[in-house]
Amino acid sequence: MKSVLLFVLFIFGPFGVHAQSGQEVRPVKRPRPESPASVPPTGTATRAVYKDPTWARPPKLVVGIVVDQMRVDYLYRYWDNFGPGGFKRLVGEGAFLRNVQYDYAPTHTAPGHASIYTGSTPMHHGIVANDMWIRSTGTPLYCVQDDAASGVGGEGSKGQRSPNNLLATTISDELERRTDGRSKTIGVAMKDRSSILPIGRTGDAAYWFFEGTEGHMATSTWYMTELPQWVKDFNARGLPQQYLKQSWDLLLPKDRYHQALPDDNPYEEPLAGTLRPTLPMDVKAMYETAGRSTVPLRFIPAGNTFTTEFALAAIAGEELGQDAVTDLLAISYGATDELGHEVGPRAVELEDMYIRLDLELARLFDALDSRVGKGAYTVMLTADHAAVDVPAFLRDQQGSAGYVDVNDLIGRVNAALSARFGEGEWVVKRIKEQLWMSEELIKRYGADPAEVQHVAADALLSHPMISDAITASDLARNAYGEGLRRSVQRGFMPMRSGDVCYVMRPSHLVGYAGMSERGTEHGSPWRYDTHVPVLFMGAGIGHTEVVRTVSITDLAPTLAMIMGCALPDATLGSPVPEVLR
């Protein structure tokens, strides 16, 4: 009888569900027990020595940093103007992957952030663009739009945001599952999509900037019903208004900068509220011209300073990295992208922003050293895409570059389809380099949708500045193993992508009558958009440089090896062994 009782106790108690109440016993956040260095095997006279595997002692905190629109050559060009504590520390102490590629298109912010953290591409994680078009409903869909959500700490459509449209797990999701929900996973960015997508569908919180005359960080009901006190305290500091009353001038002497062009040149777009794209810049005038709106914060270095301040507040407020359960903080610096679009990669303003960002990174790393402990955390820094030089600048340098009139392209497609099937406006939607055809006209003329797509693609290919045009029917049924079509296919999802996808010649952007031909863009499968830096530093990381080609989808698997968790479910990549200590 005693043996039976012991067996019952062994099977049913004291763990699991309370027999009387039926309530689940929920785990509490607590430090993991230390593993003994040596354990004597039962029944032996000798002592065997065991050493914990690397994944059994993961970092206390993983910090993922995305610098929006960063090219690798910025590190090379600006190197001598960087201080010792930011980019140079990452390279000097960690692993520099110098040839990382996005092997899909379109290369935009939302797909980039989703791909970094899922280890997959848009064809599987579903974030095919910042702004999508849903074929079944004929309606637009913003990448993190969720009409069922509402703002917490902020009002309006800016609060109707969540990861609901993400169709694959991120490394943050897998960390939450690995630790039974004890990890804290936080996303921080000015852009909503840049804070939401990295931490996936089960992350603890994402915070982004709600613009307006007040300007503050907030979230949505997907994550919580009330802001934590530390977020309220942060917002009460009124930092945006303070930053927008300061001027912006060069941090270093002017002769230290790598200027290919005069500061005042025809290839840069003046920021709203300014007359010329030059420094010093009267930020206060921009602020007043904008009706005292905080929108100008997007475009100036103070936007990155603000992001760092909030990240530091999150580290303190959430006590990240303060126990043996690994936490994750995803930070995205967006001002580099907002300014880069306006002025292009050769502007002195952009170099000054990166010099100041270097100081922000040093400040962040110093805080992590102090709060978490040097060697107790892991940093991964990369970019969501890069960017092309201003085509007008390249063209004036006798390069093969320029602009493709989008109305001409649509006109060619409409003319070809009207001649073949019947009159009408066949192209009903264009988003970037994708076109949607009219289902109404297809039904009216009894046309085969696949044939309509092929006629449209042939019309696009008749333009000398179109490298390729691929139909949705071909992308859905064929497998492309190399070249442009492989990249386009890996960024394609039938229900969220166009009827025809096309690629312009290198260094060509979409144009239209009357445009200024200033500033830059990104989105193509060409190397100036796909080539980004990756830097690892800290716990589990060796000191090395890797020059072989690495895919952006390899980053999440590498983090999984360091954290000792499962790979995200749609991962296509593999760990980078040279990085792992």
**Closest-CA residue to 271 (of 262, 259, 256, 284):** 284
Asked if residue 194 lies in contact with residue 170, where contact means CB atoms within 8 angstroms, the answer is no
Query: In 10 A of CB 397, how many CB atoms?
Result: 10
Angle between helices 301-317 and 335-343 (to 10 degrees): 170
Beta carbons within 8 Å of 278's beta carbon, 6+ residues apart? 263, 264
Asked if residue 316 lies in contact with residue 371, where contact means CB atoms within 8 angstroms, the answer is yes
Six-digit token string for 559: 């983090």
Question: Pairing between strand 377-382 and 327-333?
Answer: unpaired
Count Cβ atoms within 10 A of the Cβ of residue 128 and give its class: 0-12 exposed, 13-18 middle, 19 or more buried. Answer: buried
Q: How far apart are CA 487 and CA 470, in angstroms?
A: 11
Beta strands in 24-169 (DSSP E): 61-67, 95-101, 131-134, 139-142, 151-152
Count Cβ atoms within 10 A of the Cβ of residue 559 and give its class: 0-12 exposed, 13-18 middle, 19 or more buried. Answer: buried
Tell me how long the chain is.
581
| Category of 117 on φ-ψ map: left (φ > 0), alpha (ψ -120 to 50) or beta | alpha
Asked if residue 328 lies in contact with residue 188, where contact means CB atoms within 8 angstroms, the answer is no
Residues 322/324/326/331 CA torsion (nearest 10 deg)? 20
What's phi and psi for 153, nearest 5 deg? 90, 0
Q: How far apart are CA 343 and CA 274, in angstroms?
A: 13
Beta carbons within 8 Å of 88's beta carbon, 6+ residues apart? 79, 82
Beta carbons within 8 Å of 396's beta carbon, 6+ residues apart? none
Which positions are annotated as active-site residues? Answer: 109
Asked if residue 556 lies in contact with residue 170, where contact means CB atoms within 8 angstroms, the answer is yes
List % helix, strand, coil for the chain (3-state, nearest 5): 35, 20, 45
Asked if residue 550 lies in contact with residue 100, where contact means CB atoms within 8 angstroms, the answer is yes
Q: How far apart are CA 364 and CA 382, in angstroms?
A: 16
